[in-house]
């Protein structure tokens, strides 16, 4: 049995990861501050089914509270940290960049300092495809690309998190995998994200905001594939010491916003009412990942097509309408 400390463990990705690690027979310390960025009740619902599991320890802690973090690290035998927590979203980061710096950069440094102080050597850090920024060239995004095209505070805080992880790897021998997630979706997805928002609005016969002309491209990643990628990353860390790697995790297929909308309409069997709007500041035109490194190091192979993933999400949505914010 391994003991994992998961930050942001009541969120979308975190709650799925907690459930997967517990199912494998591990112990999970779940740190979440239930931030009101979206309705905290959704997060409570995410982990409600874990409440009776004795190997799931929930602690309500803000990443900025170093004293409470220290208490957890001092009192628990932690084998690995999976740092998922942080302020999310490109557009909100433009409105409140100071908050994003405080939580995403200083919060990450607090985690790293706790790991250094208490001798914990293994870390998975959740980064983001947003670090690649806006790239006019058609090539797939590879982990060795120069990152000089970021267009949101959120992206910059994620890159800073990667840089601090590398620094602590070099100075204190931490073994780190920084995983760059590409637009994760699926059952339990946050209500502010496009797929959830589109499904909810179409289902309620309300207009959907469509930013730009619908030609923007995204590499969508199904939650089940991402959880497999994270657990494969954990297995990699158990087998290696003193390494640092940045790895893309995606669904390995980019589609346009208009094609995504078409798939949702087909799945719901209902036409959308579209409110055409200009592209928003901070939104990139396209994301497209190379997952060759993940395939080589982690044996990562996404299994879920966007069509099947949308079907799974819509089924979950219909079964959980009363829990939606």
Residue 317 domain-assigned (yes or no): no
pLDDT (0 to 100) of residue 3: 97
Residue 203 domain-assigned (yes or no): no
- Annotate 245-259 with three-state secondary structure: EEEEECCCCEEEHHH
The boundaries of the domain holding residue 163 are 3-185+221-252+289-304
pLDDT (0 to 100) of residue 325: 45
Structural domain count of the chain = 1
Across the range 197-214, mean pLDDT stands at 90
Q: Which of 4, 154, 185, 300 is catalytic?
A: 154
Residue 208 domain-assigned (yes or no): no
Where do we find the tokens 């463990």?
9
pLDDT (0 to 100) of residue 323: 55
pLDDT (0 to 100) of residue 155: 95
Residue 128 domain-assigned (yes or no): yes
Q: What is the CATH number of the domain that holds 96?
A: 3.40.50.720
**Does residue 154 carry a catalytic annotation?**
yes
| Residue 303 clears pLDDT 90, i.e. is over it | yes
Residue 73 domain-assigned (yes or no): yes
More confident residue, 77 or 215: 77
Task: Determine which of 49-58, 157-166, 245-254, 283-292 has the lowest per-residue pLDDT on average.
Answer: 283-292
What are the residues whose beta carbons fall under 8 Å from the beta carbon of 124, sequence distance 6 or more? 80, 81, 82, 83, 176, 177, 178, 179, 230, 233, 234, 237
pLDDT tens figures, 69-102: 999 999 999 999 999 999 998 889 999 999 999 9
pLDDT (0 to 100) of residue 134: 84
pLDDT (0 to 100) of residue 276: 84
pLDDT tens figures, 293-302: 999 999 999 9
* Average pLDDT for the chain: 93
Query: What's the pLDDT band for 137 if we cut at 50, 70, 90?
Result: low
CB 250 within 8 A of CB 291: yes
Residue 325 domain-assigned (yes or no): no
Residue 108 domain-assigned (yes or no): yes
Query: What's the pLDDT band for 10 if we cut at 50, 70, 90?
Result: very high
Across the range 23-32, mean pLDDT stands at 97
Residue 315 domain-assigned (yes or no): no
Q: Is the pTM of this model over 0.95?
A: no
Query: What's the pLDDT band for 212 if we cut at 50, 70, 90?
Result: confident
């Amino acid at each position: 049995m391994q003991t994992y400390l998961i930050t942001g463990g009541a969120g979308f990705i975190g709650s799925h990861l907690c459930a997967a690690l517990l199912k494998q027979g591990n112990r999970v310390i779940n740190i979440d501050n239930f931030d009101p960025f979206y309705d905290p009740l959704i997060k409570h619902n995410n982990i409600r089914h874990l409440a009776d599991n004795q190997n799931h320890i929930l602690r309500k802690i803000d990443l900025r509270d170093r004293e409470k973090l220290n208490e957890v690290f001092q009192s628990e035998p932690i084998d690995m940290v999976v740092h998922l927590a942080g302020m999310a979203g490109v557009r909100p980061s433009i409105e409140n960049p100071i908050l994003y710096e405080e939580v995403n950069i200083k919060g990450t440094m607090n985690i790293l300092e706790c790991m250094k102080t208490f001798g914990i050597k293994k870390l998975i850090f959740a980064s983001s495809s947003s670090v690649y920024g806006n790239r006019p060239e058609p090539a797939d995004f590879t982990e060795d690309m120069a990152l000089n095209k970021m267009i949101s505070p959120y992206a910059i805080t994620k890159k800073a998190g990667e840089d601090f992880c590398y620094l602590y790897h070099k100075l204190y021998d931490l073994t780190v995998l920084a995983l760059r997630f590409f637009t994760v979706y699926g059952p339990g997805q946050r209500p502010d994200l496009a797929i959830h928002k589109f499904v909810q609005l179409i289902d309620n016969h309300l207009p959907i905001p469509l930013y730009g002309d619908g030609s923007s491209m995204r590499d969508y990643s199904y939650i089940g594939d991402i959880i497999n990628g994270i657990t494969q990353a954990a297995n990699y860390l158990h087998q290696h010491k003193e390494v640092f790697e940045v790895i893309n995790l995606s669904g390995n297929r980019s589609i346009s916003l208009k094609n995504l909308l078409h798939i949702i309409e087909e799945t719901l069997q209902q036409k959308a009412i579209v409110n055409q709007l200009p592209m928003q500041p901070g939104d990139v035109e396209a994301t497209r990942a190379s997952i060759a490194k993940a395939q080589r190091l982690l044996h990562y192979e996404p299994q879920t097509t966007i069509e099947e993933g949308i079907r799974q999400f819509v089924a979950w949505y219909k079964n959980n309408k009363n829990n939606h914010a």
